[in-house]
Structure 1
Amino acid sequence: MKLRRVIEASLLLAGGFVLHQIMPPLIAGMKPDMSLLMLFVVVLLYPEKKLTLLSGLVTGVISALTTTFPGGQVANMIDKPITSFSVLFMILLADHLKLPMKFKLGVIGVLGTIISGSIFLGAASMMVSLPQSFVVLFMSVVLPAALLNTGFLYAIYPIVIQIKKLLPEYDMGSEKEAA
């Protein structure tokens, strides 16, 4: 795992934290977890097991620290690493099948968010009583979040790719040789 990739992933996850903070609650104090969006971007950029695990754990911690849902701290810590590996599996499968990027983004945005929301609600319901039924929360929070994340993923991923193209590749080895 290269330090540059870890730093880039950290910056993207910090952006996800900001998005998560500004997202208003939709129902019963629950709000879509927009930090998932940046988790998806990180795993799309760097489909590596170690970085996927690290990003899932960091996103879980960030979401746990900022959640307004009772019992959401533990649910986030369970949900995010599982979701990150689910997304990694989807990416690897889509790459193997040679699916176009636009299709891959849509599948990851929708299914990744649905997996995350389902695990979160399931884990939270085992620890505390949900403010509404699972189905009501799934329909009113998870599905709209899936649509939002997918739309934002289509918008943000190309921007991140363009920014990465503008950044020079910095290789510490070549600098030592030049000196």
Structure 2
Amino acid sequence: MELRRVIESSLLLAGGFVLHQIMPPLVAGMKPDMSLLMLFIVVLLYQDKKLVILSGLLAGIISALSTTFPGGQVANMLDKPITALAVLTLILLGDYFKLSRKFSLGIIGVLGTIISGTVFLTTASLVVALPQSFLVLFISVVLPATLLNTCFLYMLYPIIAKIKGLVSKVEFNSGEEIV
């Protein structure tokens, strides 16, 4: 695992934290977790199992520290690593079946967010009583988050992938190339 990849992943997850902070709550204090979006992008960019697990743990810690949902700390710590590994599996399956990247982005956005929301709500319901029923929270928070994450994934992934490609080829005045 390269230090540069760890740093780039951390910066993307920090951007996810900012997105998570500015997202308003929808129902019962729950916000769509936009930090998932950046976790998906990290997994898409670096399909390294160790880095995916590390990023999932880091995203879980960041979300746990910033959650406003009762019992959300434990739920986030379980949800993010599981979701990161699930998304890695989806990417590998998409590559195996030779799916286009555009189609894979849709699958990752939809299934990744649904997996995350289901694990989160299930864990939270085991830790504390949910403020609303599972179904109400799933419909009012997870489904809108699924739509938002999928749309933003289609918009941001190509931009970030292009920037990452350009940044890795920039040269310093000394002629030393950043690899």
Which TM-score band applies after superposition, normalised by the shorter structure? Answer: over 0.9
Number of residue pairs the alignment of both structures matches? 173
Q: Scaled by the length of structure 1, what TM-score is found?
A: 0.94
| Deviation digits for residues 144-166 of structure 1 (CA, Å, limit 9, x no counterpart) | 00000000000000110111122
Q: Name the counterpart of 1:87.
A: 87
Q: Scaled by the length of structure 2, what TM-score is found?
A: 0.94
Alpha-carbon offset, residue 169 of structure 1: 4.4
Q: Name the counterpart of 1:53.
A: 53
Q: Tell me, yes or no, if structure 1 residue 68 matches structure 2 residue 59.
A: no
- Could you list the runs of 4 or more consecutive aligned residues of structure 1 that deviate by over 4 angstroms after TM superposition? none
| Deviation digits for residues 62-114 of structure 1 (CA, Å, limit 9, x no counterpart) | 00000000010000001000000000000000001110011000000000000
Q: Name the counterpart of 2:102.
A: 102
| Deviation digits for residues 33-69 of structure 1 (CA, Å, limit 9, x no counterpart) | 0000000000000111100000000000000000000
Q: Tell me, yes or no, if structure 1 residue 120 matches structure 2 residue 129.
A: no
Matches within 5 A, 1:34-49: 34-49=34-49
- Unpaired runs of 5+ residues, structure 2, are 171-175
- Aligned residue identity for 1:89: T
Matches within 5 A, 1:131-150: 131-150=131-150
- Aligned residue identity for 2:32: P
Hey, what's the Cα distance between the residues in 1 that align with 2:169 and 2:59? 26
Q: Name the counterpart of 1:25.
A: 25
Task: Report the 3-state secondary structure (helix = DSSP H, G, I; strand = E; otherwise coil) of the residue aligned with 2:28.
Answer: coil
